[in-house]
Chains A and B, each alone.
Chain A
Amino acid sequence: MSIKLEQLCKTYNVDTDFPVHAVNHLDLEIKQGEFVAVMGPSGSGKTTLLNMLGGIDTPTSGKVLIDDNNILELHDKQLIAFRRDNIGFIFQDYSLLPVLTALENVEFVMQLQGHSEEECRKRATDLLIRVGLAEHLHKRPAKLSGGQQQRVAVARALAPSPKFVMADEPTANLDAKSTAELLDIMQQLNEQEGTTFIFSTHDPRVISRAKRVIVFEDGLKKEDTIQAESP
C-alpha cells in the first residue's frame, strides 16, 4: 500500500486578499514501510500536509491516491472506516478525550474496530506499559503531564495496528530518554510489521533516525533525501 499526492494544494482564506497556501502544488509518494520525517519551520504547512495524507482534511485541489484510488472520492462512511483501520494519528495537541482515562482512551479506538473488550483491555494495557505509563492507566488526561499525554496519544495511534501513522511532532514534549524509547518502539514496529511512519518534526533526534527526510517550506518541498542507515 502506498500514499501518493498529486498536485496537492491547500489554500486557506481563498476568498480574501491574502490567501495562505499552506500546501502548494505538492507531488509526493510514500510507500509502505517508510520512516519519513517532514521538517520545516513553524507555519510551513506540516500539519496541513499530514492531515491530508491521513484523509481528515480536504485539499483545495489535487489528488490523494491510496494504491491509485483517490480517497477524496470515497463516501464519508468508507473514508471513516478506512481511517479507522489503516491510519493512526498522533496529534500535535494530543487531542485525548478528557472524560476517559488513559486506558479507556486507547481501548476506545480499538473498540471502534470491533475488537472484544478483553482484547482491547489487554492490548491497550500492554501498549501503555510499553510507552512507560504503567502507573497512570486509570488517570484522566487532565491529571497527566504534557509528555505523558503525548505517550497516551502514541499508544492510541498504535493500538488499532494501522498501516500508516501520522505523527505530528510526537516528541515535542519528551525528554531525551522518553524520545529514544518511543522512537525505539516505532522503529521496531516499522521493521517488524512494516508500519509506515510519517513524522512532522523539528527534533534532530527524530531526523537522525529517519530513513527519509523531506524539508518543507511555505507549502513547498525543498529537499527530499534518503538517509543511509545510521550504524
Chain B
Amino acid sequence: MLLKLAWRNLWRNKLRTSIVLGAMVFGLVGVTLMIGFMNGMMDNMISNAINWQTSHLQVHQKDYSADPEIHKTISRSSQLQVQLDKMTQIKTWASRHLAQGMIASARSTRGITINGIDLQKEALITPLAQNIYDGFWLDDKGRNPILVSKKIAQRLKLRVGSKVVLTFTNKNGDVSGAAFRVRGLFKTPSSAFDEMNVFVRKADLKVLSGIEGDHEIALLVNDIKQLESVKRKIHVALAQSDSVQNWEELQPMLAAMSASMASSNIIILVIFVLAMGFGIVNILLMSVFERTCEFGVLMAVGMQKHKILQLILLESTFLGVVGATLGLLCSLAALSILKVTGISLSSLADGLSAMGLDTLLYPKVSGSDFALIFITVVLASSLAGLYPARQILKQEPAQAMSEKH
C-alpha cells in the first residue's frame, strides 16, 4: 500500500514531475556525453601516442633520455634483437639510430631529432608508411632521401624534391652534415611530434655518424595485459647500462592525465548531482508542503511517523529511479549514435593536434561509469526527501490539517 501510495503521489502533478524528469534526463545526457567525450579524448590521446610515438615499450641506454648523446647506444643490440624475435608475446619491434641535429633549407633552420629507421620494420610498428600525404615512403633507391613533416615543410618552405642539409655532432664530437632530398611529407596527429622529427634511412645516418648500433628499440606486444611481463623479460635480457620503459614512463604527462581522468569525471558527476539534488529538494518541498493537510490526516488515523518518512523517501527514490533510468537510456541512445558517427571537431583541428588528438572522436562510457551515475543520482534524490519530511513530521496532526492550500 505504501508503494502504491508513493507511486501515485509521484504522478499527482504530472506536469511538475515531467518537468523534473526532463531536467534530469537532459542533465544526465549532458553528463554522460561529457564523461564519454573526456574518456574518448583520453583514449584517443593514449592510442595515438602509442601508435605513432612510444609503441608499448622502448629500450634505451639508461641515461639516453636525459641527455641524448650520439655515442649512447644500446649494448649488445644485435644479440638482444635475436632474443626479441624469439619472444612470442612480442608482435613486432623496430630499432632506430637517432641523432639530435639541425635541419636547414635555404630559408630557415630548425632543431630536430633525426630518426634513422629500418624501412621494413618501421613500416610495421607505426602507421607512418601509410600516412605519407605527399610524395612517397622511403625506399632503397636514391641518395639520402628524407621524410619531413608537413609542419616543417611549411616552416622551411620545402616541397617534395627540395634539398635540405642535416647537421649533427658525430662520434668524434665534430659537426658533420650532409644534403638530403625530400622524398615525402608526413603528418601525425601530434603537431609537437611533427615539429621535432624527420626520418631517414638508418644506413645513411650511420655512415654520417660513424657509429654502429642503435639508440632506440621500440616494441609492440600482442596483448596489452602482458605488457608488464614482457617488460620484465626484456629487462632480464638487457645489459646493466640499458633500460626498458613502458609508454607511461615514456609519456609521464599522459599517464598522469589518464590517472586524473577518473577523479575529474567524479567531480563533473558530483557537480551535476548537487545541482540536480537542489532541484529535487525544491520540487519535493513544494509537493510535500502542499499536502501538509494530508500528512496531518495520515498521522490522525494512526500512521506512525517513520512510515510517513518512508512514504516521502519512497516518493523521492521513485523520482530518482525513474529519472536516472530515463536519463541513462537516452544517454545510451545518444552514445550509440555518436559511436557510429563520431564527434567531428575539425574546426578545432590545430588545437587538437597540439594535444595529439584526432579530429574525429568517439565517446566512451564504461558500464561502471553508468552504474556509478545511476547509484549517485538515486541516492541523492532519496536523500533530498529527508528535509521536507522532517519539516512535516514536526507538526501536530490538527495543526497540519488546518493548513489549507
Binding site for B on A (CB under 8 A): 51, 54, 56-58, 76-77, 80-81, 83-85, 89, 91, 95, 97-100, 104, 107-109, 111-113, 156, 160
Given contacts A80-B302, A89-B300, 20 further A-B contacts (CB under 8 A): A56-B300, A56-B396, A76-B305, A80-B299, A81-B304, A83-B301, A84-B302, A91-B297, A91-B401, A95-B401, A97-B294, A98-B12, A98-B294, A99-B9, A99-B12, A100-B4, A104-B4, A107-B1, A108-B1, A113-B302
* A-B residue pairs, 4 tightest by C-beta: A84-B302, A57-B398, A99-B8, A56-B397
Asked if B5 is at the interface (CB within 8 A of a chain A CB), the reply is yes
Asked if B399 is at the interface (CB within 8 A of a chain A CB), the reply is yes
Alpha-carbon gap, A84 to B397, bound state (A): 13
Interface residues of B in 292-316 (CB under 8 A from A): 293-294, 296-305, 307
Residues of B within 8 A of A107 (CB): 1
The residue on B at minimum CB distance from A157 is B301
Alpha-carbon gap, A51 to B304, bound state (A): 18
Alpha-carbon gap, A77 to B296, bound state (A): 15
Residues of B within 8 A of A109 (CB): 301-302
Whether B399 and A57, one on each chain, are in contact in the complex, defined by CB atoms closer than 8 angstroms, is yes
Binding site for A on B (CB under 8 A): 1, 4-5, 8-9, 12, 293-294, 296-305, 307, 396-399, 401
Nearest Cβ distance between residue B60 and chain A, in whole angstroms? 73
Given known contacts A95-B293, A97-B294, A84 and B301 CB-to-CB distance under 8 angstroms:
yes
Residues of A within 8 A of B307 (CB): 112
Q: Which of B9, B298, B302 has the most CB of A within 10 A?
A: B302
Q: Which of B8, B301, B304, B401 has the most CB of A within 10 A?
A: B301
Cross-chain pairs A/B with CB under 8 angstroms, 25 sampled: A51-B398, A54-B300, A56-B296, A56-B299, A56-B398, A56-B401, A57-B396, A77-B304, A83-B301, A84-B302, A91-B297, A91-B300, A95-B293, A95-B294, A95-B297, A95-B401, A97-B5, A97-B294, A99-B5, A99-B12, A104-B4, A108-B301, A112-B302, A112-B303, A160-B302
Q: Which of B297, B302, B304 contacts A97 (CB 8 A)?
A: B297
Alpha-carbon gap, A110 to B239, bound state (A): 85
Alpha-carbon gap, A156 to B8, bound state (A): 20
Residues of B within 8 A of A84 (CB): 301-303
Residues of B within 8 A of A160 (CB): 302
Whether B302 and A57, one on each chain, are in contact in the complex, defined by CB atoms closer than 8 angstroms, is no
Whether A83 and B294, one on each chain, are in contact in the complex, defined by CB atoms closer than 8 angstroms, is no
Given known contacts A57-B397, A58-B396, A108-B1, A80 and B297 CB-to-CB distance under 8 angstroms:
no
Alpha-carbon gap, A70 to B1, bound state (A): 33
Nearest Cβ distance between residue B393 and chain A, in whole angstroms? 9
Whether B12 and A89, one on each chain, are in contact in the complex, defined by CB atoms closer than 8 angstroms, is no
Alpha-carbon gap, A133 to B77, bound state (A): 98
Alpha-carbon gap, A81 to B303, bound state (A): 8
Nearest Cβ distance between residue A110 and chain B, in whole angstroms? 10
Alpha-carbon gap, A160 to B301, bound state (A): 10
Given known contacts A56-B397, A57-B398, A95-B293, A156 and B1 CB-to-CB distance under 8 angstroms:
no
Residues of A within 8 A of B5 (CB): 97, 99-100, 108
The residue on A at minimum CB distance from B305 is A76
Given known contacts A91-B401, A108-B1, A83 and B302 CB-to-CB distance under 8 angstroms:
yes
Residues of A within 8 A of B299 (CB): 56, 80
Whether B1 and A111, one on each chain, are in contact in the complex, defined by CB atoms closer than 8 angstroms, is yes
Alpha-carbon gap, A117 to B8, bound state (A): 19
Whether B8 and A85, one on each chain, are in contact in the complex, defined by CB atoms closer than 8 angstroms, is no
Whether B301 and A112, one on each chain, are in contact in the complex, defined by CB atoms closer than 8 angstroms, is yes
Alpha-carbon gap, A113 to B307, bound state (A): 13
Whether A156 and B301, one on each chain, are in contact in the complex, defined by CB atoms closer than 8 angstroms, is yes
Nearest Cβ distance between residue B397 and chain A, in whole angstroms? 4
Residues of B within 8 A of A83 (CB): 300-302
Nearest Cβ distance between residue B314 and chain A, in whole angstroms? 13
Whether A85 and B302, one on each chain, are in contact in the complex, defined by CB atoms closer than 8 angstroms, is yes
The residue on B at minimum CB distance from A108 is B1
The residue on B at minimum CB distance from A76 is B305
Residues of A within 8 A of B396 (CB): 56-58
Q: Which of A81, A95, A98, A99 contacts B302 (CB 8 A)?
A: A81
The residue on A at minimum CB distance from B10 is A99
Nearest Cβ distance between residue B292 and chain A, in whole angstroms? 12
Residues of B within 8 A of A56 (CB): 296, 299-300, 396-398, 401
Residues of B within 8 A of A108 (CB): 1, 5, 301
Alpha-carbon gap, A77 to B306, bound state (A): 9
The residue on B at minimum CB distance from A88 is B301
Alpha-carbon gap, A99 to B399, bound state (A): 22
Residues of A within 8 A of B397 (CB): 56-57
Alpha-carbon gap, A91 to B293, bound state (A): 12
Whether B401 and A80, one on each chain, are in contact in the complex, defined by CB atoms closer than 8 angstroms, is no
Alpha-carbon gap, A98 to B397, bound state (A): 18
Alpha-carbon gap, A58 to B399, bound state (A): 9
Nearest Cβ distance between residue A196 and chain B, in whole angstroms? 17
Residues of A within 8 A of B398 (CB): 51, 56-57
Nearest Cβ distance between residue B298 and chain A, in whole angstroms? 8
The residue on B at minimum CB distance from A97 is B294
Alpha-carbon gap, A14 to B350, bound state (A): 75
Alpha-carbon gap, A57 to B294, bound state (A): 15
Nearest Cβ distance between residue B8 and chain A, in whole angstroms? 4
Residues of B within 8 A of A77 (CB): 304-305
The residue on B at minimum CB distance from A120 is B1
Alpha-carbon gap, A143 to B299, bound state (A): 25
Alpha-carbon gap, A97 to B294, bound state (A): 7
Alpha-carbon gap, A57 to B296, bound state (A): 11
Whether B303 and A80, one on each chain, are in contact in the complex, defined by CB atoms closer than 8 angstroms, is yes
Nearest Cβ distance between residue A48 and chain B, in whole angstroms? 8
Alpha-carbon gap, A98 to B8, bound state (A): 10
